[in-house]
Structure 1
Amino acid sequence: MERADKGLPFLLKYENVADYKDGEVRILDRRAYPAREEFICCSNYHEVAKAIADMVTQSGGPWLAAALGIVCAARETKNLPLERAKEMLNQAADVLISARPTTSGNMETHIRRILKVALDALDRGEDAEAVTYEYVQKNLENRYRSSRKIAMYAIDLLPDEAHILTQCYAETLIGFLLLVSQERGKKVSLICPETRPYLQGARLTASVACDMGVPVTVITDNMPAYILSKGMAQVFISAADVITMDGYVVNKIGTFQIALAAHFHGIPYFAMGLPSIAYATINEVAIEERNPEEVLHAMGTRTVKT
């Protein structure tokens, strides 16, 4: 079967999101890209969870990294008594699920499913590492194919020529949106707010567009309302960290104000994603509050007086 990441750029190839080899989870450090192509190697699930919490990878990246963290934990259980091995796998799942609070509900559903595969393999006396890795790879293919289908629905809502305002980094969804638009002959371009403090819009979304030959303009985070007021974008599109069952969209900080500006100026806003049964209402979403020190720096350089 043809790989589902065919036609996607470097950032979205499976192995450049996260990979597993020889007992290590290898994660592309998106904090450094595109200035440097560096990978963080994690030899145990604790290191994987720390990498996720430290923003080594974002958007859909933690989905794959955490899954491979369970594979890594399964390797660690080799030669352990059965009950101790199961205990370790359950501990690994708990640690990985809690790495990022806002998406922990979705992550729990995802990781518990993978955990069950590993535990069942142990009960059958099989190689839990190999069985779990194979399951994760199949799920990865399915996730990419689902992202492509979502992008196809989004493309149907766009005019034949469109300047698209984005927010942060929608990962596979933005990649497939651009790929499908090219396949259908639609002329699209992106306008990417930089997305402080990690600049995912400038460094990641814009890089994907450049690698795919799509025109892209990077703007400051202060500019979306002005762009929308001048009719310079025909649509605002983002991913969604969570879509609750009562209809709320939770995404990168700043998405709300852009959506309000788009509504005020009569510009449609489309959030790409799937509702999550893990969140019946918006009240069940724990919004992550990160270290305020992050606001005082840009790409590792302090920008505020000490």
Structure 2
Amino acid sequence: MSIKPILYENNVLKMIDQRLLPVEEVWLEYTDYRAVAEAIKTMVVRGAPAIGVAAAFGAAFGAREIVAADYDAFAPEFEKVCALLAATRPTAVNLFWALDRMKRCAKAHRALSPSGLKARLVGEAMEIAAEDERLNRTLGKNGATLIPDGARVLTHCNAGALATAGYGTALGVIRAAVEAGKKVAVLADETRPWLQGARLTAWELMKDGIPVTLICDNMAGHLMSKGEIDCVIVGADRIAANGDTANKIGTYTVAILAREHGLPFYVAAPISTIDLAIPDGSHIPIEERDRREVTHSGERQLAPEGVTVRNPAFDVTPARLITAIITERGVVSGDYRAELLRLVSGKE
């Protein structure tokens, strides 16, 4: 069983502090939407689907604080709550998807009493969390058919249970392949500068008993050239209408290496990660994070004081480098613009 990094119990949101893993397993508790926003911003919780789930609960907490006699008075205050949460991380579209869903829920139940509306919003956040894990399991089964028995699979960053409400996207595909009886070994890029692969992917796969080997980011090409990698699977933070995909910085490099070595490169993500309003990857906003993530490891300084630093948290992999995109509604390839539109619309 994969870990569930987000739990809602007794009116309290509990999240494992992913900044401390794998050394410490510390659960933090939240009842205030401002604190949830700070947790998203500072990466207590990370991974596009998990960010969306956390934001949904944050919105519900913010709604509880609003004093309003009716929906017309409630709506502008709720918009302010959602705006604060939306300002935390710009790249992961699931954040905005979840907040939009919470706002639509509020509008759809505008006839309820204020207390009834607030309770309904908590229920909506709980449904978003439950749906995420359920859809990840379906996504995993869809993608497991692409993983050969005995495959050695490279992944970049963490798109596992820790990045979702449970089970995972890219790692969900691997888990489903293992559950189907296949022998699968994972190679995990360390994923500088925040080391999600080293700290998180390796940790959760070891907990599940799935063979994992940690490698530095600059080793992937060498191992591909030696025939030690069979395919690549990664998650996504936003997929544009044409299939261009934003994921953790370094993913684009891995995709180029996979193409050079003739290896399949798969992206696994829920439908909520597809943003048809973005025509292509050049329009995806890329978050730049604090320089200290590059110059320091914890409190230890690694670089000269005052050196100029760039720290884009994501890059964009062009659709032409992606072999297939795996979702809970199926696997698509080829004409991504048409196929993604079909998936999102739900048309066969």
TM superposition score normalised by structure 2: 0.78
Cα offset, 1:278, TM superposition: 3.5
Q: CA deviation at 1:139?
A: 2.3
Q: Tell me, yes or no, if structure 1 residue 109 matches structure 2 residue 105.
A: no
Corresponding position: 1:147 with 2:147 = no
Aligned twin of 1:177:
173
2:21 partner amino acid? Y
* Residue in 1 that maps onto 2:29: 41
Q: 1:48-85 CA distances to partner (integer Å, 9 max, x unpaired)?
A: 112111111111321111010011112112x4443443
Moved more, 147-156 or 58-67: 147-156
For 1:17 and 1:174, the matched residues in 2 are separated by 18
Structure 2 residue identity aligned to 1:51: A
| SS of alignment partner, residue 187 of structure 1 | coil
Equivalent residue for 2:295? 296
8 Å Cα contact 1:18/1:65 also seen in 2: no
Among residues 180, 195, 210, which one is paired with 2:206 in the alignment? 210
Task: Determine if contact 2:145/2:177 at 8 Å carries over to the other structure.
Answer: no
Is 1:129 aligned with 2:125? no
Judge conservation of contact 2:63–2:81 (CA < 8 Å) in 1: no
Matched residue type, 1:180 = A
User: Matches of 1:148 and 1:35 in 2, distance apart?
Assistant: 28
Give the distance between the partners of 2:79 and 2:211, measured in 1 at CA: 46
The answer to whether the Cα contact below 8 Å between 2:190 and 2:217 also exists between their aligned partners in 1 is: yes
Which of 206, 219, 226 aligns to 2:222? It is 226
Q: What does 1:69-88 align with in structure 2 at a 5 Å threshold?
A: 69-77=58-66, 79-82=67-70, 83-88=72-77
Counterpart AA for 1:243: I
Q: Unaligned regions of 5+ residues in structure 2, if any?
A: 161-167, 306-348
Counterparts in 2 of 1:299 and 1:19: CA distance versus 1, 3 Å? farther
Contact 1:244 1:279 in 2 (8 A): yes
CA offset at residue 28 of structure 1?
Answer: 1.5
Are residues 122 and 73 of structure 1, via their aligned partners in 2, closer, same or farther at CA, if it must alter by over 3 Å?
A: farther
CA contact (8 A) 2:190 2:215 kept: yes
Q: CA deviation at 1:222?
A: 1.5
CA distance in 1, matches of 2:136, 2:214: 24
Q: 1:258 to 1:66 in 2, by over 3 A?
A: same
**Aligned-pair identity (%):** 30
Task: Specify every segment of 5 or more residues in structure 1 that has no aligned partner in the other structure, as ranges.
Answer: 1-6
C-alpha distance in 2, partners of 1:174/1:286?
Answer: 22
Pick closer, same or farther for the CA change 1:127–1:301 going to 2, 3 Å: farther
- Structure 2: which amino acid aligns with 1:109? W
Partner of 1:62: 51
Asked if structure 2 preserves the Cα contact closer than 8 Å seen for 1:279 and 1:285, the reply is: yes
Match of 1:27 in 2: 15
Partner of 1:3: none
Judge conservation of contact 2:240–2:280 (CA < 8 Å) in 1.
yes
Among 267, 270, 279, the residue aligned to 2:263: 267
SS in 2 for 1:258: helix
- The 10-residue stretch of structure 1 (143-152 or 230-239) with the greater mean CA deviation from structure 2: 143-152
Counterpart contact for 2:51–2:94, Cα < 8 Å = no
Structure-2 separation of matches of 1:251 and 1:127: 38
Specify whether residues 132 and 183 from structure 1 end up closer, same or farther in structure 2 by C-alpha distance, changes over 3 A only: same
Using structure 1 for the length normalisation, give the TM-score.
Answer: 0.88
Q: How many corresponding residue pairs?
A: 292
Q: Which of 218, 222, 239 is 2:235 aligned to?
A: 239
Distance (Å, rounded) in 2 between the aligned partners of 1:245 and 1:265:
27
The corresponding residue for 1:96 is: 85
SS at match of 1:19: strand
Give the alignment's Cα RMSD to 1 decimal. Answer: 1.9
2:169 match: secondary structure: helix
**Equivalent position to 2:190, from 182, 189, 194:** 194
Give a deviation string over 1:236-282, Cα, whole Å, max 9, x none: 11001111111201100000001101110111110112432242322
**2:317 alignment partner in structure 1:** none
The answer to whether the 8 A contact 2:56-2:102 is kept is yes
SS in 2 for 1:304: coil
Q: Distance in 2 between matches of 1:118 and 1:44?
A: 19
